[in-house]
Amino acid sequence: MLFFSGLIVVAGLLGASPEFHLRDGDTVVFYGDSITNQRLYTVFTETYVLTRFPQLHVTFVHSGWSGDRVSGGARGPIDVRLDRDVFAYGPTVITIMLGMNDAEYRPFDAGIFDKFTSGYLHILDTIKAKAPEARVTVLEPSPYDDFTRAPEFEGGYNAVLRRYGKFVRKTGAARELTVADLNAPVVALLKAAKAPSLIPDRVHPSTGVHLAMAEALLRAWHAPAVVTSVEIDGATGTVASAENTTVEPIASSIASENGISWTQADKALPMPVELHDETNVLALRHSDFTEALNRETLKVMGLEGGRYRLEIDDEAVGTFDARELAAGINLATLNTPMSRQAQTVLDLAYRHNHLRFARMMMVENALKEYHPARLQAAVDAMDSLHEEIVALERAAAVPKLHRYRLTAAP
């Protein structure tokens, strides 16, 4: 079941081009509550951008905080939060996801809803005043799981969140903002997979759900599906087409042990997905994530019937029937040198975000009331290390030249 077929994403700017939303030099701040603070849909979004657009220099700041509402929370009231955790970074792109805590986990209450709407409008007004050039994406809140378990009251809490999301959608459209629905696609996933593990506590999504949420955001940003696409005529040894890559001249002699060989200088890496995580597997099985965002297609036509062995950099990637190769195989779903390189990018994205969070929680916040003499030096050192890890992440995202060989399998 493809749960994104009914996904609605709105690019609020009338006449907006379908080009990707982010630009070279952008600073993206993800703002929200504990679901943003999980640093998962945000890290997946960051990793997609780095692997798909390695030539872009985009800075990502993850500013979620557990328990937050439109009024702020444990890390400060809303205006303090916005000044310190958003505007201080000079954002050119801001995403906002709030509502899970605002509705107070109870049946719909008009008074509580009014507090949310007025607080939400205050956030948008403050952004317009203090970061007028920032491009804002508003996110309809992710769901409360009333689907793999019975609702706790009539109608369920997610129905309340949908009313909050409807307000977010209408407000975003009225203000010509970008809107992404992070609720409906996840509800469809929950209904299809029937797995409570997807949102274990009903509130905080698993990794697989965050993958679905990242897709919803990226699609609202017009993220392209193609990593690379190559079509080769195996009979003549010529390149029929090549998208987002450069294919060097092909040596062709399928009858010999050398087979067909070529080199590719790709302009992107595939989006890495950790398949050891059961919830990721569920998300891929019940979604169109791969088709919508992760197509690294190799098509070889004109081969005689039989089985063929594909090697990349002298490493066996798989054995495929001639009909499979003619239809096209998706390298993004295989263990390749490219996918392992992309996994390094994801790993470094996790690490630099965990490092920044540790600096805030375990050093700056934990010790500031005691005023230790070396506190600022420690903060500065951790920031410097953070910058170094980000530089390693960007370097890891630069594609490498790869050698391909296709030979008849025994």
Provide DSSP, 273-296: --TTSHHHHHHHHTS-HHHHH-EE
* Residue whose C-alpha is closest to residue 104's, from 169, 153, 174, 44: 153
Mean pLDDT of the chain: 93
Host domain of residue 361: 225-410
The domain boundary, picked from 196, 220, 244, lies at 220
Q: Are 176 and 13 in contact (CB under 8 A)?
A: yes
CA distances (Å), origin 194, targets 146, 188, 215, 393: 11, 10, 20, 36
Q: How far apart are alpha carbons 53 and 342 in whole angstroms?
A: 12
- Residue 40 DSSP one-character state: S
CATH of the domain at 131: 3.40.50.1110
Q: Is residue 1 part of a domain?
A: no
Phi, psi of 262 (to 5 degrees): -160, 170
**Domain identity same for 38 and 178:** yes
pLDDT of residue 355: 94
Q: Is residue 3 part of a domain?
A: no
DSSP 70-125: TTEETTEEHHHHHHHHTGGG--SEEEEE--TTTTTTSS--HHHHHHHHHHHHHHHH
**Number of domains, the chain:** 2
Q: Is residue 114 part of a domain?
A: yes
- Parts of the chain with a pLDDT under 50: 1-17, 255
Q: Kindly report the CA angle at 76 between 72 and 80, in degrees rounded to 5?
A: 90
**Domain identity same for 307 and 195:** no
**What percentage of residues in the chain have a pLDDT greater than 70?**
94
pLDDT of residue 249: 77
**Domain identity same for 199 and 238:** no
pLDDT of residue 254: 55
**Domain identity same for 202 and 234:** no
Rounded to 10 deg, the angle between the 110-130 and 78-85 helix axes is 40
**Domain identity same for 154 and 185:** yes
Q: How far apart are alpha carbons 99 and 161 in whole angstroms?
A: 7
Task: State the pTM of this model.
Answer: 0.93
Q: Is residue 179 part of a domain?
A: yes
Please give the radius of gyration of the chain, using alpha carbons only, rounded to the nearest integer: 23
The domain boundary, picked from 220, 245, 269, lies at 220
Q: Is residue 21 part of a domain?
A: yes
**Domain identity same for 275 and 159:** no
Beta bridge partners of 32: 64, 97
Q: How far apart are alpha carbons 410 and 403 in whole angstroms?
A: 21
Torsion from C-alpha of 387, 392, 397, 401, nearest 10 degrees: 150
Q: Kindly report the CA angle at 163 between 157 and 169, in degrees rounded to 5?
A: 135
pLDDT of residue 252: 67
Q: Is residue 90 part of a domain?
A: yes
230 HSE (CA, 13 A, CB side): 26
**Domain identity same for 196 and 262:** no
**Domain identity same for 151 and 193:** yes
**Domain identity same for 216 and 153:** yes
Q: How far apart are alpha carbons 359 and 347 in whole angstroms?
A: 18
How buried is 263 (Cβ within 10 angstroms: 0-12 exposed, 13-18 middle, 19+ buried)? Answer: middle
**Domain identity same for 168 and 295:** no
Q: Is residue 215 part of a domain?
A: yes
**Domain identity same for 213 and 283:** no
**Tokens 């630009």, located at residue:** 23
Q: How many residues belong to the chain?
A: 410
Q: Is residue 2 part of a domain?
A: no
**Domain identity same for 196 and 248:** no
**Tokens 């505007």, located at residue:** 87
The domain boundary, picked from 169, 201, 220, lies at 220
